[in-house]
Each structure stands twice: as structure tokens, then as C-alpha cells.
Amino acid sequence: MFTDIIKQYSHIEKRINESEVMLDPWPHMYITEIFTPDFYREVQQFEQLKSLDRVPEHGRVEYIFNKFDEEYIELTTKMFKLFCDKFGYKIDADVPAGATFWVDDSDLIIDDIHVDAFYDTPFTISGQIYLPDDLSQRQYGTKLYKYTGNDLSVDAKQDPGTMHPHIATNLDNFDLVRTVPFYPNCMLVTPNHITSWHCAPTVVGDDIRKSLMLRWKV
């Protein structure tokens, strides 16, 4: 995978511990400079990308890691424990993260306000690491919403097999609180919860939005 990834731990630990949990509109973290500059460039220009399992969707190509070395497992297991401490979760388990590169273009439409609907696990922490070249794609970061209504069964819909309503239908009851800047080497960390309403802006023109998604599933 990545070169000497475990050597990143002291830097990542410091950046996580120095970052605050923001509660509005729901608990999340926005961590700047999550990697050292050299390691960020290695992740951003990952040379083995084409060797990963490639899953094309409409407007998005997913490159999925299907093998993890011991250093990656150790690092992401330690990160999970740090995030549990920050968010106040008492989970006594060694949980490494799954990893997927996302490459989005203008054909991808995911601007429906939603919470992530997982069919196979009751609890997930997601960490999306933004991988742009510079500051020019600020507008492509995740939009965070607060639900202001009284009855989700009326204001959102639920797909079969999901655990709760997860796609907003009555947009009047969802208020935009912030747009997280899509800046280089920044990480948005979000525990999956029924209140975690969000969406992603559509990419414009010839722009490409690249990110690395880490997910810890319990």
C-alpha cells in the first residue's frame, strides 16, 4: 500500500487530538493537515491506483482496496480508538478501516440530502480525506444539514432493508448549517447517525473531485 504508513501515526495522532468535535448541526470533525506534506502527495498521486478493484458508477469511479498490510491495519485501528475517544464512544474492539478512492466527475448527482444508509452494520465512522491539488475546489466539500421537522417518516423516505429514513423529501425541514471546504489534506470525520444529514455538490465542467474514504464498521 503506502510507504512506511505507520510512521505517520504520531503526526495523525497529534492532528486528531488537536482538532475539536463540532456539534452543529451534529457531531463531526474537520481535521486539517491530517498527513505530512510528503505523505499527502504520495496518497494523492497513488501509483498503484490502477491495480485496485475498479467499480465504475455513473459519474464516479471507485477504486477499492481488497488487501491491507499489517502497518495499515495497525494505523487505522489506532485511528478508530482515537475517534471513539473524541466522540465519547465506549467501543472495546480492534477495528481497521476499509478504504476506497473516489474519483467524481460532473455526471455524478448526489445532491439529495441524506444520511448514509448501511444495510450490514448498525454503527459506522466515516473519514473522507480530500485530495485536490490546490484551494480552487473549495465549493465541492460536503454540505451539513440540520433536521428541523417533527416526523422523519413524513419528511424523509426509507428504502427496504435500511434501518431508518435516509433520504430527505420535505426540504423545507432541512436547514444548511455549513459547507465543509474541499481543501487539500483535510479530513471530514462523521459517525453515521440518524441525525447526520448531508449532501455533496455536483462537480462542474471538466473538474474532477478526488478523495479517499475510510470507513470503520462495527
Per-position DSSP letters for 101-129, written without gaps between them: EEEE-TT----S-B----SS-S-EEEEEE
Domain containing residue 115: 5-217
Of these ranges, 100-114, 146-160, 175-189, the one predicted with the greatest mean pLDDT is 175-189
Alpha-helical (H) ranges within 91-215 are 152-155
Instruction: Report how far apart, in Å, the C-alpha atoms of 124 and of each of 64, 120, 174 are.
Output: 18, 10, 23
Contact status, residue 100 vs residue 154, Cβ threshold 8 Å? no
pLDDT of residue 214: 95
Total count of domains within the chain: 1
- Please state the rounded mean pLDDT for residues 141-165: 89
Q: What is the pLDDT of residues 101-124, one digit of tens each?
A: 999 999 988 778 998 866 556 678
Its pTM surpasses 0.75: yes
Alpha-helical (H) ranges within 7-114 are 9-18, 37-44, 70-87
Specify the CATH number for the domain of residue 160: 2.60.120.620
* Partner residues linked to 55 by β-bridges: 62
| Helices 9-18 and 70-87: angle between axes, nearest 10 degrees | 10
- Please state the rounded mean pLDDT for residues 50-79: 86
* Residues in CB range of 185: below 8 A, 6 or more apart: 32, 33, 34, 35, 37, 40, 129, 130
**Confidence check: pLDDT of 73 > 80:** yes
Q: Is 116 exposed, middle or buried (0-12, 13-18, 19+ CB in 10 A)?
A: middle
Contact status, residue 191 vs residue 89, Cβ threshold 8 Å? yes
Pick the more confident residue, 48 or 210.
210
**Confidence check: pLDDT of 42 > 70:** yes
**Confidence check: pLDDT of 175 > 60:** yes
Main-chain phi, psi angles of 208, to 5 degrees: -125, 130
- Lowest mean pLDDT across 16-20, 121-125, 154-158: 121-125
